[in-house]
Amino acid sequence: MAAVDPHSFTDSRQARTRHVALSLYLDLPSSTIHASALFSLQTPHSGPFYLDTRSLTIHSVIHPKTQTPIPFSLSDPDPIKGSLLSFTLSDHSSFLISYSTSPSSSALQWLLPPQSSHPFVYTQCQSIHARSVFPCQDTAALRIQYSALLNVPSQLSAVMAARHVERRSPKHDDAVHVVLPDGESWCAQGRIVEEFVMEQSVPPYLFAFAVGELGNREVGPRTRVYAENAAAVLDSAAAEFAGTEDMIREGEKLFGPYEWERFDLLVLPPSFPYGGMENPRMVFLTPTVIKGDATGAQVVAHELAHSWTGNLITNKTNEHFWLNEGFTTYAERRIVEAVQGEQRAALNIGIGWRGLNEDVERFKDNLEFTKLKNNQEGIDPDNVYSQVPYEKGFQFLWRIERQVGRPAFDEFLKKYIDTFKFKSIDTETFLDFLKANIPGIENQIDLLLWTEGTGIPPDAYEPESTAYKTIVSLANEFTNGRMPREDEVAGWQGQEWELYLDNLPKSIEASQAFSDKMQSSTSSTTLLKFKPILPCSFSYTKLLCIILSLFQWDKDNLYVNVIDLDSRYKLSESKDYEVKVSFLQRAISCGCKTYYNEVEKTLKGVGRMKYLRPLYTALVKGSGKEDGKVFAKRIFSEARECYHPIAQGVVEAIFAKHL
């Protein structure tokens, strides 16, 4: 097998898929899709052919012209890749697969009341989960076009990351080869078909749809906001994202034409595991981005930026993920700077800088994942998801901008996007293009250190804005019991509070590290330094206890300060989850159980991994946390089915590491 991607069975010697025509019958009571997929290849193929699948039942593989069956085999599942579907073609340019999904599909979440107001299902296919919705060459190295017929209950409606063609009654010839359970019919009364087409080529992970009782609001000439049909949610979303068209126009000025026609937004139920997913034409969003002050639009700015960097130009494999996310983080901040000003962009950079440092520390025992270009052979990409490709990638591009100047870098970016649009590339391709278009850059910046070196390069850059420095300075004074005054926080929005909280000390870790160091030095020169000034009968162990008790006092003092901070500013009750979760994480780290009720409500109320990962980790990481571990396991057992399968796997990985 000539692999093109460590996460896929795709063979580079085989023909590539050009188009897939899908017929999908959504059986909501059984959490199953019964389907057929007609594949059209770029060139006729003879010989073995491989497709990725996960948790799919394959009913048949058929030659569509002769209707003759093609023998196939399905391998035992690999824990990361899923199962290899293989069969042999004889000068075939097309074939048709009949199959059914499983209720355990890793891309699909099926929701029933009270998880949502009405039955609801949505997909999340990044990074390697499209294979659990339909068989495919599931690698970002290959781009496909597709069409889809979604057969759903008539009281529901469907949206898709594709152009909507029509809503109509089912026809018998829509899905001749869809195998339905006894008693079910494609054309049954009470069913409707929603038809979509994606005419531009996209990587499989950008395949996306959602089905539910949906309403919508117009917010601009190219943008409509969708959500479950509740007026309050729709109205607040429309208000939060009212400035979307301004961001699209700024993006076009910076990066060239918007190639996708529509930029619609779907606000999903709280279980959605990400802040946003950049599905073309139809961005998926968590409801936690609706904050009431329009700052949630910065997540929209990030997903919009993906329209150029990620969707238009795509990383070839997940080992080059920074090409998607580093470029998009840079582009997002340029859009935010243009629309909301330099200070707001600087706060974003500051929050990102802190996140980068934390994730580099997180991977201190596996520095491979602090590289931009890294080796992910045998690695589940969901388990190494972090801020490194986002923030280190941003820092790399920002470093290049500082070196050559913004006007020159802007011209470079436009040329880069125009050259590689609708292509998938790797790090080497980018570096070759960079060196060809900015001659001598390799002599001014250590490109190899930035892309293949571990950690944070010495020429990375912490922001220097006045607002950023003021907030960090206030956070540094917290250990001395210095609370920010009301006049100092007047006008602070969620980002200011998030930056402040992210820069507070992690008291337990700091105190424990000192304790461990002192204990390991008891019989060495550390305590011997005290010998000349102590009575002969004085116990060195007693001295150690006195010193450590002072640090315990600091820890307890921080504990009190955390409670005092919350009593003044009600951070644990914030409607901005970035603020709430950052505060709760610090409270847990101080050993403060006062907020366990709020932690429980948060972990049961949202499924966004940005919140689940730090809270569960804070509860279970480190020694002496038996109560936290018991608490975390109970919460997860009760909330697990409300999380998307991807989020379930992430929490289980945290437990496997720390329990």
The pLDDT tens digits of the residues spanning 583-629 come to 999 999 888 899 999 999 999 999 999 999 999 999 999 877 899 99
Q: What is the pLDDT of residue 561?
A: 83
With 50 as the cut, is the pLDDT of residue 511 above it? Answer: no
d(CA 573, CA 579): 9
pTM of the model: 0.91
The answer to whether position 559 is within a domain reads yes
Same domain, residue pair 196 and 326: no
Q: What is the DSSP letter of 534?
A: S
With 60 as the cut, is the pLDDT of residue 184 above it? Answer: yes
Domain of residue 156 covers 1-212
Q: What band does 549 get if pLDDT is binned at 50, 70 and 90? A: very low
Does 590 appear as a known binding residue? no
Q: What is the pLDDT of residue 479?
A: 75
Does 414 appear as a known binding residue? no
The domain that holds 599 is classified in CATH as 1.25.40.320
Task: Kindly report whether the peptide bond that precedes residue 86 is cis, defined as omega within 30 degrees of 0.
Answer: no
Give the mean pLDDT of the chain. 91
Same domain, residue pair 201 and 321: no
Return all residues near 588 (Cβ < 8 A) that are at least 6 apart: 595, 599, 615, 618, 619, 628
With 90 as the cut, is the pLDDT of residue 271 above it? Answer: yes
Q: Among 336-340, 539-543, 649-653, where is mean pLDDT lowest?
A: 539-543
Looking at the structure of the chain, the number of domains it has is: 3
Q: Average pLDDT of 57-76?
A: 97
577 is a catalytic site residue: no
With 70 as the cut, is the pLDDT of residue 523 above it? Answer: no
Does 124 appear as a known binding residue? yes
The domain that holds 189 is classified in CATH as 2.60.40.1730
CB contact at 8 A, 435 and 442: yes
CB contact at 8 A, 304 and 334: no
Among residues 39, 45, 38, 37, the alpha carbon closest in space to that of 15 is found at 45
The answer to whether position 511 is within a domain reads no
Percent of the chain scoring above 70 in pLDDT: 92
Same domain, residue pair 96 and 197: yes
Does 273 appear as a known binding residue? yes
Percent of the chain scoring above 90 in pLDDT: 85
Q: What is the pLDDT of residue 557?
A: 57
The answer to whether position 510 is within a domain reads no
Question: Domain ends where: 212, 228, 243?
Answer: 212
Does 463 appear as a known binding residue? no
In the set 303, 337, 391, 498, the catalytic residue is 303
Q: Most distant CA pair in the chain: distance in Å?
A: 99
Q: What is the pLDDT of residue 529?
A: 41
With 60 as the cut, is the pLDDT of residue 323 above it? Answer: yes
CB contact at 8 A, 39 and 17: yes
The answer to whether position 238 is within a domain reads no
With 90 as the cut, is the pLDDT of residue 555 above it? Answer: no
The answer to whether position 388 is within a domain reads yes
Question: Domain ends where: 452, 468, 498?
Answer: 452
Per the model's pLDDT, the better-predicted residue between 198 and 535 turns out to be: 198
Q: What is the pLDDT of residue 117?
A: 75
Same domain, residue pair 1 and 116: yes
CB contact at 8 A, 46 and 95: no
- Percent helix, strand and coil across the chain, each to the nearest 5: 45, 20, 35
Among residues 479, 469, 497, the alpha carbon closest in space to that of 569 is found at 497
d(CA 23, CA 450): 45
Q: What is the pLDDT of residue 34?
A: 98
Q: What band does 166 get if pLDDT is binned at 50, 70 and 90? A: very high
Residue 294 backbone dihedrals phi, psi, to 5 degrees: 75, 0
pLDDT digits (tens, 9 = 90+) for 374-429: 999 999 999 999 999 999 999 999 999 999 999 999 999 999 999 999 999 999 99
Same domain, residue pair 408 and 553: no
CB contact at 8 A, 303 and 309: no
With 70 as the cut, is the pLDDT of residue 146 above it? Answer: yes
Q: Which helix (H) or strand (E) holds 546?
A: helix 540-569
Same domain, residue pair 18 and 148: yes
The answer to whether position 240 is within a domain reads no
Q: What is the pLDDT of residue 545?
A: 44
With 90 as the cut, is the pLDDT of residue 513 above it? Answer: no
Does 495 appear as a known binding residue? no
Same domain, residue pair 74 and 205: yes
pLDDT digits (tens, 9 = 90+) for 525-534: 443 344 444 4
Question: Domain ends where: 452, 483, 501?
Answer: 452
Same domain, residue pair 160 and 17: yes
pLDDT digits (tens, 9 = 90+) for 70-128: 999 999 999 999 999 999 999 999 999 999 999 999 999 999 877 777 899 999 999 99
Per the model's pLDDT, the better-predicted residue between 260 and 544 turns out to be: 260
Q: What is the pLDDT of residue 559?
A: 64
In the set 122, 226, 390, 577, the catalytic residue is 390
The answer to whether position 275 is within a domain reads no
The domain that holds 425 is classified in CATH as 1.10.390.10
Q: What band does 183 get if pLDDT is binned at 50, 70 and 90? A: confident
The answer to whether position 292 is within a domain reads no
